[in-house]
Structures are given as C-alpha cells and as structure tokens.
Amino acid sequence: MRIRPFYFFLIISAFMVSALGQQATPTPQLYSESTLRQLRELQKAALRSDYAYTRTAYLSNNIGPRISGSAQAQRAVEYVADEMRKLGLEVRLQKVMVPHWVRGDERGEIVEFPGMAPGTTQKIVLTALGGSIATPADGSTGEVVVVSSYEELNQLGRERVQGKIVLFNTIFDRRLAESGYGGNAYGQAVQFRGGGAIAAGRLGAIGVLVRSAGGSQNRLAHTGAMRYENGVPQIPAAAVSFEDAETLAYLAKMGKVRVRIVLTPKTLPDAESFNVIADIKGTEKPDEVVVVSGHLDSWDLGTGALDDGCGVAVSMQVPYLLKLLDLKPKRTIRMIAYMSEENSGNGGEVYGKAETANLARHVAAIESDLGASHPIGFLFSGKSEALPYFAPLSAILREQGAAQSQIQPGVGSDIGPLTRAGVPSFAPWFDTRTYFNYHHTAADTFDKIDPKQLGEVGSVTAVLAYGLANLEQPIPR
C-alpha cells in the first residue's frame, strides 16, 4: 500500500500528538498541494542562494561592528532598508531609543603575584562589559578575590570583599557545549556577567571581573550586557579571557594577587535608532502577519557576523526568494531587523508595544539569533497541540537534516514580547557546539560563516515563513 505523503504526515502528526500525551484527533488539511510544492521549490532555492551570504558579508565586513547608537548601526539600518526597497517591499523605520554606550581603552595587568620578577607585571586580556562604568583614569587597583558562585561570595562577606576586585571564576562547560548543549552551557555561565557587579558592589568591591561566558580558549574576552541595581554602588565590570581567569585563580591559590584594571567606556545619552520593517503583503489575508527576523545591532569587538548579521541576512533572504520565485504568500510576511537586542532589547519591546492591538493578527513570529551552524530543525514556543501543524514543514526539511522540532518556553529575545502575548514563535534549532566559542568576542567575524550551513538556515527560515503564511488553518494558541 502506497501511503500518499499528505496522509503520512497526518499519521506522523497524530503520533506526535499522542507522544505529547494529548488525544489524537483528525487534523484538517494544513497546507495545499500547491503550497507544499512551492515550499520544496523555495527550499531548493534557499539552499543554493548566495543572497544571505553576501548580505552577511556586507553587514560584517563593509559595515562592521554595529553596537546600538553607533554610526555603523545607523548605516546598517539604511543598508537593510535600501536592500528591501530594491526588492519592491514596503519599508518603514520604527523609531527605537537605544542605549549609547561607547567602549574606550581597556587594559589590565597583574601587579603583584607570587614569583613575579621585580619591576614586571603580567598583562590580562579583558574587555569591559556592556554598560559598565569607567574606572578612575589611572585604573582601579585591588587584591583579587576569586569565587565561583554567589553563595561563595556572600559567605566571604563584606569584611573580605570590601575594597577588593572580585573574580567570578565559574567555568563555561565546554564538554556540555561539545555534547550539543551550547545554550545550556551559556545559560549556566552567563548569570555572573549580568549580575556579578551587583553582588560584588553590594559587599563593597571596587571592581568585578567575570570569567568569559563562552567556550573560547584562545585568549579572547567575551563581552555582553551587565546590570546595575538602584541603591547598590556601581562598580566597573569586565570579562577576562578563559586563560586569564585560569592564571589568576592559579596565582591566587599561591598568595596575594593584585590587579590593576583600566576601563574608559562612556555612557552617552540614549540615541534614536530604528527597527527596519519590510512587508510582502499577503494576497488573501494581508492583515495577518508572519514575522521573520534577526537583530541588526551587534557587540563591538567582532563584526557581528554570527550574532546576528546572518540572522538578519536569512530574514532578508525570505522576501528575496519569494520575489525570485514569484511566490505570493497568502498572509503578509514581515521582515524585521530589530535594533538593540544586545544592549537593551528595546527594539523588540517597541515593536511588541506598537502592535498590542494587532497581536491576534500576528499568526507567527520567527527569529534567527544563534549563528549559522547546521540547523537540525526548529524550536517552537506555543501550545503543544500546535506541533502537528508543522509536521509537513518538518517533512520537507528532513531532506536537509532539519526535521527535528521541540517546544521551548522562549525562542528569541526580540520576539519575546510577541511570544509572551501568545504569538506562536519559532527559531531555527541549531547545532550549538561551536557558536559560543565566537559569540560576543572579537572572533565573531565573517569567515566563521559556512555558506552551505547558512544556506540551510536560510531554508529553514524561508520554509517556516512561507509555510506559516500559507497555512490553511489557524494555529491553536
């Protein structure tokens, strides 16, 4: 007996629903035959297109680092808007006020340690965390207190922390990342980058260093956002490389270690910037929207190729491919290049707020913000009853090794406001074994993009976007 593909998907869908502990129910037609045919055509075109690759190159090589508030970020806004207009899309710039933090000089040295040659110091590779205040002009100098958790710090108490520089030396679990769980490894490590300055400042520390929250073992410091808290003294905060954390911890076990850190960042008044929003109007339900997105800002150490030039580029590629293939979605597909994901999340917040009245008409939101390694499928944030609705898309993506799907509470920070309002949300599900070796470091550069793998990301993104825009049934939400 030959099972026709569509019924095969129904069986799979039913099985998945059962597997999720739900009652199997007959599923109505989800995608028309012509949509399925078009999706396969779209997949093929995405896998061989160099559109996203060349746009990632331009964003990272020609424009460069795009930290929020910078001239490069503004140039990137214009570039993406121009490219979308070239495709004939309706483009609008949505104003977003963003932090304007500017990195200055940054250097560190160990000025006292067991065994040091007289008159010498040892350089520390460090980088200011985004949002950190500056040190005094001649630096902050203090004894290093090494801890590996908030509990350990708090047990030391004010008496042993006051006037010192705290090093949070919690490892990024590379073996966990190499096992495929890069995001989990990052999640464990990143808490000290965000909250370390508050915990140390509360006990009177004069500065905080955090071991880089990434997998690099190549003397690269990992920047990223940090926070202060009202009522707690603000102290300068920097990340040190894996190697420098190891060295400081080794030396501190032997005796007194003092470091001097110099950071000269400036926090300027918030700047005006923009989300770039470009629509391909739906032919049947133009008021219903599928968002496909990435974020246009980056950190400033590398050139933001992986985080998130490529995510913007694969989003830009969706309308490009639809035009190329003359495919007209039934619902509107909206490309959004969000601004200031890294440094505030303001772009996502502004868009979410502006669309409060239209959230029910946002049928889906997709964001790609975890690099461009091989996608094994997609992550979904929404009701488990909805999963079978995407099985036909997974069946198409199976040919490129991307048939997996999984429910996850949140899948992208810019689309978070939509997700939390009940908009079914999606992200490519990546092999994250290497992403965190580069992410937020100076090595996040264009050469890290593998064109074949980027093609696969572009395909997952395009198939999801066009499939959801043409879905015959509303997604349960």
61 or 408: CB nearest a copy of itself: 61
41 is catalytic: no
Q: Which residues contact 268 (CB under 8 A, 6 or more apart)?
A: 69, 100, 101, 102
DSSP 225: B
Closest to 369 measured CA to CA, from 452, 290, 313, 434: 313
Please select the residue that binds a copy of itself; options are 57, 84, 126, 199, rule is CB under 8 A. Answer: 57
Distance (Å, whole) CA 119 – CA 410:
52
* Structure-block tokens of residue 383: 């009701």
Half-sphere exposure of 438 (CA within 13 A, CB side): 23
Q: Which residues contact 165 (CB under 8 A, 6 or more apart)?
A: 140, 142, 143, 144, 145, 205, 206, 207, 208, 209, 259, 261
H-assigned helices in 20-119: 33-48, 51-57, 71-86
95 or 123: CB nearest a copy of itself: 123
24 or 116: CB nearest a copy of itself: 116
Q: Which stretch binds a copy of itself (CB under 8 A): 14-22, 315-323, 434-442, 450-458?
A: 434-442
Distance (Å, whole) CA 319 – CA 311:
14
Q: Which stretch binds a copy of itself (CB under 8 A): 110-118, 280-288, 326-334, 460-468?
A: 110-118
According to the binding rule CB under 8 A, does residue 217 interact with a copy of itself?
Answer: yes
Find the helix or strand (DSSP H, E) in which 195 lies.
helix 182-202
251 or 366: CB nearest a copy of itself: 251
393 by Cβ neighbours in 10 Å (0-12 / 13-18 / 19+) ranks as buried
According to the binding rule CB under 8 A, does residue 251 interact with a copy of itself?
Answer: yes
Neighbour count for residue 163 (Cβ, 10 Å)? 11
CB 141, min distance to a copy of itself, A: 18
Find the helix or strand (DSSP H, E) in which 457 lies.
helix 451-469
2 by Cβ neighbours in 10 Å (0-12 / 13-18 / 19+) ranks as exposed
According to the binding rule CB under 8 A, does residue 221 interact with a copy of itself?
Answer: no
According to the binding rule CB under 8 A, does residue 65 interact with a copy of itself?
Answer: yes
Please select the residue that binds a copy of itself; options are 141, 273, 303, 343, rule is CB under 8 A. Answer: 303
* Structure-block tokens of residue 421: 């309002």
307: helix, strand or coil:
helix
Please select the residue that binds a copy of itself; options are 5, 447, 452, 473, rule is CB under 8 A. Answer: 447
Q: Which stretch binds a copy of itself (CB under 8 A): 62-70, 182-190, 281-289, 349-357?
A: 62-70
Neighbour count for residue 256 (Cβ, 10 Å)? 11
274 or 446: CB nearest a copy of itself: 446
Inter-CA distances, 441 with 125, 213, 437, 453, Å: 12, 10, 8, 21
Please select the residue that binds a copy of itself; options are 72, 340, 368, 373, rule is CB under 8 A. Answer: 72
Please select the residue that binds a copy of itself; options are 246, 270, 385, 450, rule is CB under 8 A. Answer: 246
The values of phi and psi at residue 131, to 5°, are 105, -10
Binding mask 137-156 for a copy of itself (x = CB under 8 A): --------------------
CB 305, min distance to a copy of itself, A: 10
Q: Which of 83, 288, 341, 367 is catalytic?
A: 341
Please select the residue that binds a copy of itself; options are 3, 20, 254, 268, rule is CB under 8 A. Answer: 254
Count interface residues toward a copy of itself (CB under 8 A): 47
Please select the residue that binds a copy of itself; options are 442, 449, 469, 475, rule is CB under 8 A. Answer: 442
426 or 436: CB nearest a copy of itself: 436
According to the binding rule CB under 8 A, does residue 122 interact with a copy of itself?
Answer: yes
61 or 267: CB nearest a copy of itself: 61
Binding site for a copy of itself (CB under 8 A): 57-58, 61-65, 70-72, 74-75, 79, 113-120, 122-123, 125, 216-220, 242-243, 246-247, 250-251, 254, 302-303, 437-438, 441-443, 445-448
